[in-house]
Amino acid sequence: MNDYRELYIYIESYIKNKLSFLHDFGYDLPTINYEDYNRYSQINDMEMEFGNKQICRYFRIHYTRENGKGEITDIFRFTIHKGDGRSLINVSDYMLFIQKQEIKYLWLNSFEGTFEEKLDQLLDYVVNILQTYLMPVLKGEEWVDVPTNWYGAK
C-alpha cells in the first residue's frame, strides 16, 4: 500500500488556506483523516471536515488519489452535512439540481496546468460555488434537499 502522507499534507495546507473564510462563519479548523480506507480501491483516501457545532453544519472534503489499479483519478468530493447524520448536500449534485450546466467535474483533470495549478483552480472554483450559491446553507439559515443523482443507474 502506497503512503501518500506528504501529498495529503500538501493538499491539506492548500485547502486550509482557500477555505479560511469558513472561520468567519464559526467553522473550526478541520479534522483530518489521511487513512480513510476506501473499500473499492483498497487504499487510504484523505478526508477533511470543517465543522460549526453551534448550527450543526459540516463541510467535508474527500480526496481519492487512485482507483487501486495504479490509475490516478484525483477526484474530490465536496459535501455539506447537517448534524443529524442523514442530510447531505453533494456540491456537484446541487449545481446540477439548480441547473447550472457549466459546472466542471470536481477532479483535477477538469483543469489545466501542473498539479499545483489544477489544485488552485479547483479550490477557487469550489470557493466560488460556496460563496455564490451555498452561503445560506453554510450559515445555517436554510437547507436544500437535493435529490440523489443516480447517474442513470436507477
Of 72, 76, 62, the C-alpha closest to 120 is 76
CB 77, CB 61: distance < 8 Å:
yes
Q: Where is pLDDT greater, at 145 or 71?
A: 145
Q: Is the pLDDT of residue 49 over 70?
A: yes
CB 120, CB 14: distance < 8 Å:
yes
pTM, two decimals, is 0.87
Helix intervals (H) in the chain = 5-18, 91-97, 115-133, 135-138
Rounded to whole angstroms, how far apart are CA atoms 78 and 128?
Answer: 13
What is the percentage of the chain residues whose pLDDT exceeds 90?
Answer: 52
Give pLDDT, residue 99. Answer: 79
Cα 78 from chain centre = 2
pLDDT, tens only, 111-136:
999 999 999 999 999 999 999 999 99
pLDDT, tens only, 79-95:
999 988 778 999 988 98
